Amino acid sequence: MHIVFLGAPGSGKGTQAQRLKDHLQIAHLSTGEMLRHAEEEGTKLGHEAARFMHAGQLVPDEVVVGIIFDRLMAKDCERGCLLDGFPRTVPQAEALDGMLAERRTPLDMVVALDVPESLLEERLLSRGRADDDPGTIRERFRQYHDLTQPLLDYYQAKGILRRVNAKGTPDEVFDRISRVIEYAGNPQFAGKSQS
């Protein structure tokens, strides 16, 4: 089972993806985490990516597509995975479709977290990460709006988009996400949403 998590910066995407991965027992692929890890390790990729991340910009498609491609081919992704932060642009989504088609494992569902923009900004400012200063935040929203939001239409047209109201406590939001996934008839999830 392959699920994509979509959400604006500060939508709680990372938190919810972590919880969902624990429930579904599938691999969790977060491009943000992978890129931050590469930066900490001081690799060439990390240095290159950091310039974009700190400016609130997206890392070039070919860089993230390369990273994700390697991870998707790993053994722990055979049963599926939860993609968190990828794809973020239409070309990335097309690349993902190509990779999954090659393996004959279709994308089952795209969960999009809906949060009003005023709340997103508030959340990000209180988080205090290095790429969370007001100017960078504004740029990240702009990039989200211009490059990532078109993915909602892309997946809507494929009939796999599920929008979830992500305003509320992490527990409330997780409950809504589990219901959406359960409703889609995922046997792996049956009976697990109450815990």
DSSP string, 32-56: HHHHHHHHHHT-HHHHHHHHHHHTT
Pairwise CA distance, residues 68 & 36, whole Å: 14
Give min distance, CB of 145 to ligand ADP, in A: 13
Q: Does 80 bind ligand ADP (CB under 6 A)?
A: no
**Residue with the two structure tokens 């992704």:** 77
Residues 29-58 that bind ligand ADP (CB under 6 A): 31-32, 35, 52-53, 57-58
Closest residue to ligand ADP using C-beta atoms: 32
Of residues 92, 141, 166, 178, which one binds ligand ADP by CB under 6 A? 92
CA distance readout (Å), 160 to 61, 100, 137, 153, 165: 23, 15, 29, 11, 17
Q: Does 9 bind ligand ADP (CB under 6 A)?
A: yes
154: tokens are: 């892309």
Catalytic residues: 13, 88, 127, 129, 140
**Residues in touch with ligand ADP (CB under 6 A):** 9, 13-14, 31-32, 35, 52-53, 57-59, 64, 85-86, 88, 92, 140
